[in-house]
């Protein structure tokens, strides 16, 4: 069995990131990834927290009690 083929869309995205950020070191690449994925992870975590709590973080209304 050979190595699985890379998704062409993923390769294109990686090339765009490299072109945009032009990383010269591992540290540069880490900063680029933090810029790109940081907001996505923050949004995902906020959604998970809201789901767990049962209300939006800035909701001033009555809260339901999850049990």
Q: What is the pLDDT of residues 6-56, one digit of tens each?
A: 999 999 999 999 999 999 999 999 999 999 999 999 998 988 888 777 777
The structure's pTM equals 0.53
pLDDT above 70 for 59: no
d(CA 28, CA 21): 8
Total of domains in the chain: 1
Backbone phi, psi, residue 53, to 5°? -75, -30
In a domain, 39, yes or no: yes
In a domain, 62, yes or no: no
In a domain, 35, yes or no: yes
pLDDT at 47: 86
d(CA 4, CA 27): 28
Query: Which range of residues forms the domain containing residue 38?
Result: 25-50
In a domain, 33, yes or no: yes
């Amino acid at each position: 069995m050979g190595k699985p083929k890379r998704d062409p869309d993923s390769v294109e995205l990686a090339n765009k990131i490299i072109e945009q950020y032009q990383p010269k070191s591992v540290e540069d690449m880490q900063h680029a990834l933090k810029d790109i994925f940081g907001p996505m992870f923050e949004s995902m975590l906020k959604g998970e927290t809201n789901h767990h709590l049962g209300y939006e973080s800035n909701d001033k209304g009555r809260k339901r009690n999850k049990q």
